[in-house]
Chain A
Amino acid sequence: NAGVMQNPRHLVRRRGQEARLRCSPVKGHSHVYWYRQLPEEGLKFMVYLQKENIIDESGMPKERFSAEFPKEGPSILRIQQVVRGDSAAYFCASSPGREMGTEAFFGQGTRLTVV
């Protein structure tokens, strides 16, 4: 009964490279959310996806960032041409529904460091 699995746990990229962060939701969950956490800050919403569809991307920068949640396989958060300011912990959460009282289950996050 695996929870939300994120990999890698740690990712180091040089400026200008691409970062790919993966998230496998809880089995049976079709709703995935990505959040970013800067040091000493709370989690900030980036994007909400439901199988094959982006529902809300209002928190995701328009350039260099993209997300997908294909019919098969994990959700991917992709950051192109990374910059130092992208260094943060990125969390994925999944839920079985989108009702406001539904519990969101979080992964352990991917800590991205841009050098």
Chain B
Amino acid sequence: AQTVTQSQPEMSVQEAETVTLSCTYDTSESDYYLFWYKQPPSRQMILVIRQEAYKQQNATENRFSVNFQKAAKSFSLKISDSQLGDAAMYFCAYRSGSGANSKLTFGKGITLSVRP
């Protein structure tokens, strides 16, 4: 079974600084997708960034980028120039296959606070 582990329950970053959130996963599949979702206090789950396992190039979305290490099964999220609005819970998620196997498997999440 696939598992996603986020071992840091919470992190804090100074506004305008950079922070990295860690995620590891376990799978026997060769092709899959990895995602980072943001959950602000409103509880709305918002997709931040996604990475296909077959792509070697790390995904980037504006201030958000990932460090994907397939052999190590590691998928960390880097937030540059942190803003107060980045404060939220962040969830790492995994998805493989299609059809009946297309569900997302989430980690426990990490609470990010941003200090002004």
Q: Do A and B come from one complex?
A: yes
Q: How many A-B residue pairs have CB under 8 A?
A: 68
Residue ID in chain A nearest B107 by CB atoms:
A42
Contact size range, B: 20 to 34
| Among A40, A48, A103, A108, contact of B102 (Cβ-Cβ < 8 Å) | A48
B103: chain A residues at CB < 8 Å are 33, 45, 48, 56, 59
| Among B46, B96, B100, B109, contact of A42 (Cβ-Cβ < 8 Å) | B109
Contact B43 A100 (CB under 8 A): no
How many chain A residues touch B (Cβ–Cβ < 8 Å)? Answer: 27
> Which residues of A from 53 to 102 have beta carbons under 8 Å from B?
55-56, 59, 89, 91, 93, 98-101
Cα distance, A40 to B6, chains bound together (Å): 12
A27: interface (CB < 8 Å): no
A43: interface (CB < 8 Å): yes
Contact A42 B43 (CB under 8 A): no
Contact A101 B50 (CB under 8 A): yes
A-B contact list, 30 entries, CB within 8 Å: A31-B102, A35-B104, A35-B106, A40-B108, A41-B109, A42-B4, A42-B91, A42-B109, A43-B45, A44-B106, A45-B103, A45-B105, A55-B99, A56-B103, A59-B103, A89-B43, A98-B99, A100-B33, A100-B95, A100-B97, A100-B98, A101-B95, A103-B47, A103-B50, A104-B104, A106-B44, A106-B46, A107-B44, A108-B43, A111-B43
Cα distance, A108 to B45, chains bound together (Å): 7
A25: interface (CB < 8 Å): no
Measured CB to CB, the closest approach of chain B to A83, in angstroms, equals 23
Q: A56-B103, A100-B96, A100-B98 are in contact. Are A42 and B108 (CB under 8 A)?
A: yes
